[in-house]
Structures are given as C-alpha cells and as structure tokens.
Amino acid sequence: MKDALESLLTGGLTRRDFIKSSGVAAVGLAATAGAVALPFKSMAASAPAAKDEKIVWSACTVNCGSRCPLRMHVVDGEITWVETDNTGNDLYGNHQVRACLRGRSMRRRIYNPDRLKYPMKRIGKRGEGKFKRISWDEAYDEIAASMKRIIKEYGNEAIYLNYGTGTLGGTVTKSWPPGSTLIARLMNLTGGYLNHYGDYSTAQITVGLDYTYGGGWADGNSFSDLENSKLIVQFGNNPAETRMSGGGLTYYLAEAKARSNARMIVVDPRYTDTAGGREELWIPIRPGTDTAFVAAMAYVMITEDLVDQPFLDKYCVGYDEKTLPASAPARSDYKSYILGLGPDGIAKTPEWATRITGIPVETIIQTAREIATAKPCAILQGWGLQRTAAGEIASRSIAMLALLTGNVGINGGGTGARESDYSIPFVRFPTLTNPVKASIPMFLWTDAIVRGTEMTATRDGIRGVDKLKAPIKFIWNYAGNCLINQHADINRTHDILQDEKACEMIVVIDNHMTSSAKYADIVLPDLTTSEQADFCMDAFAGNMGYFIFADQAIAPQFESKGIYEICSEIAERMGVGEAFTEGRDQESWLRHLYTLTRKQDPGLPDFETMRKQGIYKRRDPDGHYVAYKAFREDPQGNPLGTPSGKIEIYSERLARIAATWELKEDEVIHPLPVYVSTFEGWDDKKRTIYPLQLTGFHYKARTHSTYGNVDILKDAARQELWINPLDADERGIQQGDLIRIFNDRGEVHIPAKVTPRILPGVVALGEGGWYAPDGSKVDKGGCINVLTTQRPSPLAKGNPQHTNLVDVQLVKKA
C-alpha cells in the first residue's frame, strides 16, 4: 500500500493532480493490497463545478464487463478532472454506478503520449512501427482501392473483421461483436466478409454448455439472487477484478451475501481478490483439473446417497442407465462413469482425484457433503477454467454439481454457468445482413491467412461451407489489440503477418500506437468517447439495468475522426455512400435509434432529458433473474433447446461429433463431461522440461491492454509473475527479482511476485501487458501471449490461453 502511495507522490504528479485523484487513489490502494473492502461506498461527495468549468456526461466503454458514467470537468476545452455517477438515493439496487480507478484515469488515456494523431502509412516492416503521415483523403482512397482489388481477385470471403472489444459499450462506436459494427455495415453493403464464431472470452463454454442446456448460451441466476442462497461456490470466477464498477457485481456479491449470510467457497489456483477475506474456504486447484474434482465429489454424493434422484430422473438425460438415449451403449451413463462401471473401469474416488487436482481427500469429501446438503446452493463458474485445453468439457462438468443437487431453476440456486444480468432493451445500429455464409472459429484467423483454403468443417470447425474459397487477404482491425498483443503465440503471429503477400492489407483504427497498430499498413486515429456523442450500455449489473448518454466533452484531438465519418467516407468511395448514411449524421442516428427505442419502451426519458441526466437506471421488473425457471416449473410445456428438450448430461450430438470429426490422438470429444488429460496439463511429459503450469488472469491494472499505458495504474498494480515461495526458493528468486519466464514459443522478463496466494507448481500472469520486444525476441512488457499456444481446443476450436507450460529463472536480484 505504501509503495503505491509513494509512486503516486513521486510519479511527477502536481499537487492539484494528486488531490484530484486522491479519492481514486484510495480505491486503487485498497485493490492493490488485495484488501478488498468495497471501495465504492467510501468516495467523497462530488465537487461542484467551478465558475469557468462545464461538466459533461461521458462514459468508459471498454470491455471489462462493466460500464461506467464519467462526468468530465472541462475548462478551456480541456478535461481537467474526472468524476463519476453522483445521482439518486444510492440505495442498493438503485445505486450509483461508480467508475473504477481505470475509468477515473481516462484523462491519462485521452492525453496520452501514445495517442495516434494523423492517418499514417507504413514505411518499415510490419511490426517495426515506422510510418509516414498521410492525408485522410489518401488513406480513404488507398483503403477503397485495396478493397476493390482484393474483392475482385479473391472474393469477399478474403476480407476479415478482426475481433476488437476496445469500445464494445458504444452504439455508433460499438466495436464488438464485429458483426454489429459500422465496418460490418459497410462491408455488408459491398458484398460481405468472412464471418467468425466464438470469441476469446467464452469460446469453450459457449459451445460446451450448449450441449448440456441447449438454446445457444447457458444462463445462470443473477448475482442479486444470491441473497436467497445458503452456499455460494465460485469456480474460476473473480468478479472483484473482472466486474469492478459500482454497478458491477462485486457490490452485489457482498450485499447479497451479507443478506443471506451464505458461506462462500472459491475454487481457483490463485487466492483471488474475490476471496480476499470474504470466503469461508479457498480450494486451490491445479489448472485444468476441475473435471476430476467434480467427478470425485459426484462419487461422494452418489455413494452417500446425497444426489437429487427425482430431479435427475425428471429433467435430465443420461445420469443413469434409466434415462440414457436408445442410441447410447450400455454403461455409458454418468453414474456408471463415476462408479467405475463404464469403459475405463476407474472409480472416480477422492483418492483418485487428489493425485490429479492437488486437493486433499478430506477437502473433497467435506466439500461434496456441504454442496449436497446446503439448499439452495449457487454453483457458479467464471470463464477462467474454460479458457483451457479441454475447456468445453470442464465447463460442462461444473454444471454437473448443479444437476446432481437439483439446484437448477430455483431462487438461490444456479446452473453452474456464470451469473446473468438484466438489461434495458435498446435498438442498435442496423448493420444489415452478410451475404457471405462461411465462418471460421475466431481463434483460427491466423490459420485462415496461411492455410485458409485447406481448412475444413470436420478438422477445423469451418461452418456455413465445407471449405473456404480464399485465404484472408484484408483485415479490418477496429478497436482491438488482437493482431498481436491479445492473440496467442505472438512470435508465430509476427512471422505470419510479416509476409505481405499472404495478408495483403491491414487497416487499424485505434486511439493509440499499440503493438497491433504497428502491424498496420494504414493506421487511422479514432476519436475517443470524450470527443463524440454516443449511447453506451452492455454492462453486467445484477438486476439493475442502465444506459448512459455520453456527450461530446472536448473537440477532436489532433486530426482524429470518428468511426461513423471514416466508414461514411469509404462507403462513398465504394459507391454506397447514401445507402450507408441514409442521409443522417451521427447525432441524427442517435436520435433516430433512441426514437425507435422509446417507441418500444415509452417510459424512457426523452432525448434532451437523457442528454442532461446522463444515466438512466431501472430495476428488473421480475425481481431476480432465475435461469430455466419456466423449464423447472413445467418441463413439457417449456422444453429446453436441446434435441431432447431436457438437460443433456449424455449428449447424442457430441457422440456423433466424436465419431465423425478428425481429431488428434490426444484430443477428446465425449458425450459425457469426463475428465481428460490434455496437452500442456499437469501430467504432460513436457513438464520435465517446463515444470510450471502458467495460467493467466484478467487484471485490475487494465482492461486487457487498454489503460495499460497509464502511468499511475502501472504503479498501483504492477505487472509481475505470481510464484509460490517453494518454487521461488528452488530457483533462488525473491520478491521483486527480475526473472525470465520461457518455453519454446518465447521469453518474457519481468519482476517476480513471490506469494503463497498461488499453488506450488503453478505460476500466474495477468493478461494484457503491453508487448515490448527488445529486438532479440525477449519481451520486457510482460505480455503473456509470447508464451501461449496457438493450438486450439478440440471441440470449440477455442483459445486455451490459460493452458501453458513454462520454466522460470532468475535474471537479476532486485
């Protein structure tokens, strides 16, 4: 705590700056110390505007799962300080949505030295960062000419909209999903683009839990409903870092838990900030082994007669032989698998699981009994354990606990999926329909550059067509850093992007010179949220929905222009200008979309009132969201979206895929959520060379890479490798020492955080550190993707970015 305070004081801040940010600093310090007290309620009341000052509502629209209003204090056209929601009675459920330390440091992002100022064209090699300034007209002309040529030569399938979530919370500025952006609208008017499915966030769980619950996306109950729970079990879920705003979920967790007095168990290889003193029990687990832990708890529940048999009989397929589908072989039910009566003949006893998970036998037995007897019990998973090599199966296995105990569809219970939230329906910018049907798994976009036409449905998960007609030749990269920083195996990606004959054109639209921007052929400086008007939403906020009107606070900086103008100008050059704009400018679109929204929801304030009041909130009229409530009440009348209409513990669809897809020898797709050992897991032979499991996490210092270039945030929450004292001692490493983390994909040098908050044998690194190669392929920025693998998971073909093996050595004593 002292360090952070010192760094604030010595970080070159003026006294005025410090006073302005001191409330903020308190938030950051609490978080840094892992202390945990909820910061949101301790903020000083907002200051009145000075005479020459205007206050403008704006917002933070980054992808942290929250969404916060910012009140910009503007003097002489400059934002001088930033505060947040100060409205209403601030009672829980109608509370103020208070920005975290990141949003409050927005000024340092707007006026950052990395800010892109002019359109530029690359003159060095991709990645070198050598550019020359060009005019907007030159940039538009070159982009349009390149698009026309590539569409003519390769077809529209060769154009790709790369994943980018930097401003996903906007309406006009919305950057994610790519199909909902203005770039998609532009492309759909000019013949379309190659689709992708899945995303870096939830590729494995989206696919995995769909086989269990059907309907595309599996819901959980809202966090507000935890006030009805007796026990809360969080698998790889860390809202204290991943849902940080005052509207966000840490506040709900703390308030609801206080109301229900529920116990909380946190299962995570790290002692997280979510645990942080709030938990009754932390169960550290080896990454990638949750399925084995669940199987052994199932063993205890079955052998001690603790399962909810009537629930399993009535609502589920394949728990035991009674409800197995006709196509399934004998003994292929879950109960047989657990008791060792299935093909592998292994009983999934606590003794069996302790060797795999590292969790003591007694803990497995006690936890199983507690989960089975606390009614109702909320079983939740974050997305950490599914961002792994067998994440599809792992995500399905967590749901097993909710099923065995009959907690689905009731207040205080849960489904084993992540929490859900209420949001106010809002009419979005129409992005039209993509004429191209081909779709790739998002994680395989680099493969689609180098071997696009060889990719198939049953080997690479291509959808919509059997094979691609063309490789990717043109990439739009809007508000994303996934060209490099956020995508796996950076050294491989670098090599692929080096070849200008492979992908021929890369256009990056960003606010900052990021590592991805350095790979652009043309880079365009976008407006920040503070330099334009937009409606902002898409927050996870329990049972309180809200949206924000973010107004223009300051004039565009340098020569930057907004995405609406950029796309309109290119549309004009592609001959679809009028179709793109429909004769409207940005503000006319906002008014138009809001008029449509109010038509379906007449209770909303009018446009001018919204502009003045900034934020609008509404409590979920249904109280708490309870997932699959209707199905629970009447399973015949309200069947699920699975083929059987029931919850599928045994999935015939998966059995078919397992029999027909081309898989590698060590890849498993299975109709049941069975434990499988994976590449780069705890028992991989490679551990003799790279003995440590490296897992990643989403870090409070940044939102992915965004805010990663803000000085005070870097000081308050440093980029360090978490390593257990046992592993550190063995290597002569102490707190703060500079270390090298390496495997055969790359090498990173950063300081060590030596802490018992991580399991021995496991190290952890926050994702999103700014990639900073030193010229000899060593990264000094702490970017985990230098070390992650491009090998996809078997079923979703998703990103297993938390599954890696590495070793660590001392470079220099602190």
Q: Which residues bind ligand MGD (CB under 6 A)?
A: 62-65, 163-167, 173, 200-201, 235-238, 241-242, 244, 267-270, 272, 285, 287-288, 290, 382-385, 387-388, 478-482, 485-486, 509-512, 514, 526, 528-529, 695-700, 702-706, 767-768, 784-785, 788, 801-802
End-to-end CA distance of the chain: 19
The vertex-65 CA angle with 417 and 287, nearest 5°, equals 50
Judged by CB under 6 A, does residue 479 bind ligand SF4?
no
Query: Cβ closer to Mo ion: 201 or 434?
Result: 201
Sign of the four-CA dihedral 305, 307, 308, 312: negative
Site for ligand SF4 in 74-103 (CB under 6 A): 99-100, 102-103
Query: Cβ closer to ligand SF4: 66 or 229?
Result: 66
Contacted entry of ligand SF4, Mo ion, ligand MGD, none for residue 514, CB cut-off 5 to 8 Å set by kind = ligand MGD
DSSP H helices in 64-168: 101-104, 106-110, 136-154
Contacted entry of Mo ion, ligand SF4, ligand MGD, none for residue 510, CB cut-off 5 to 8 Å set by kind = ligand MGD
Of 448, 446, 385, the closest CA to residue 800 belongs to 385
Least distance (Å) between residue 300 CB and Mo ion: 34
Strands 78-84 and 68-75, sheet pairing: antiparallel
Q: Per the structure block, which two tokens stand in for 532?
A: 């334009």
Do 547 and 605 form a contact (C-beta atoms < 8 A)? no
Do 260 and 229 form a contact (C-beta atoms < 8 A)? yes
Question: Which strands form 544-550's sheet, in the order they lie side by side?
Answer: 534-536, 544-550, 615-619
Of 492, 481, 419, the closest CA to residue 243 belongs to 419
Q: Cα separation of 362 and 17, whole Å?
A: 53
Q: Which of 21, 58, 66, 357 binds ligand SF4 (CB under 6 A)?
A: 66
Do 733 and 810 form a contact (C-beta atoms < 8 A)? yes
Least distance (Å) between residue 122 CB and ligand MGD: 17
Judged by CB under 6 A, does residue 67 bind ligand SF4?
yes
Query: Cβ closer to ligand MGD: 530 or 642?
Result: 530
What 3-state DSSP class applies to 448? helix
Least distance (Å) between residue 123 CB and ligand MGD: 21
Contacted entry of ligand SF4, Mo ion, ligand MGD, none for residue 782, CB cut-off 5 to 8 Å set by kind = none
Q: For 154-166, give one letter per residue: b (16+ CB within 10 A) or e.
A: bbbbbbbbbbbbb
Site for ligand SF4 in 29-58 (CB under 6 A): none
DSSP state of 606: P
Least distance (Å) between residue 264 CB and Mo ion: 24
Query: Cβ closer to ligand SF4: 99 or 296?
Result: 99
Of 194, 233, 695, 221, the closest CA to residue 449 belongs to 194
Do 761 and 693 form a contact (C-beta atoms < 8 A)? yes
Q: Which of 182, 226, 244, 626 binds ligand SF4 (CB under 6 A)?
A: 244
* Candidate segments 100-108, 196-204, 227-235, 481-489, binder of Mo ion by CB under 5 A: 196-204
Q: Per the structure block, which two tokens stand in for 128?
A: 């070198």
Contacted entry of ligand SF4, Mo ion, ligand MGD, none for residue 382, CB cut-off 5 to 8 Å set by kind = ligand MGD
Contacted entry of Mo ion, ligand SF4, ligand MGD, none for residue 532, CB cut-off 5 to 8 Å set by kind = none
Site map for ligand SF4, 702-721, x if CB under 6 A? -x------------------
Query: Cβ closer to Mo ion: 198 or 406?
Result: 198
Contacted entry of ligand MGD, Mo ion, ligand SF4, none for residue 290, CB cut-off 5 to 8 Å set by kind = ligand MGD
DSSP H helices in 261-360: 290-303, 309-315, 334-339, 350-357
Judged by CB under 5 A, does residue 397 bind Mo ion?
no
Judged by CB under 6 A, does residue 753 bind ligand SF4?
no
Q: Which of 31, 68, 143, 379 binds ligand SF4 (CB under 6 A)?
A: 68
Judged by CB under 5 A, does residue 201 bind Mo ion?
yes
Do 680 and 686 form a contact (C-beta atoms < 8 A)? yes
> Where along the sequence are the contacts to ligand SF4 (CB under 6 A)?
60, 62, 64, 66-68, 99-100, 102-103, 244-245, 703
> Where along the sequence are the contacts to Mo ion (CB under 5 A)?
201
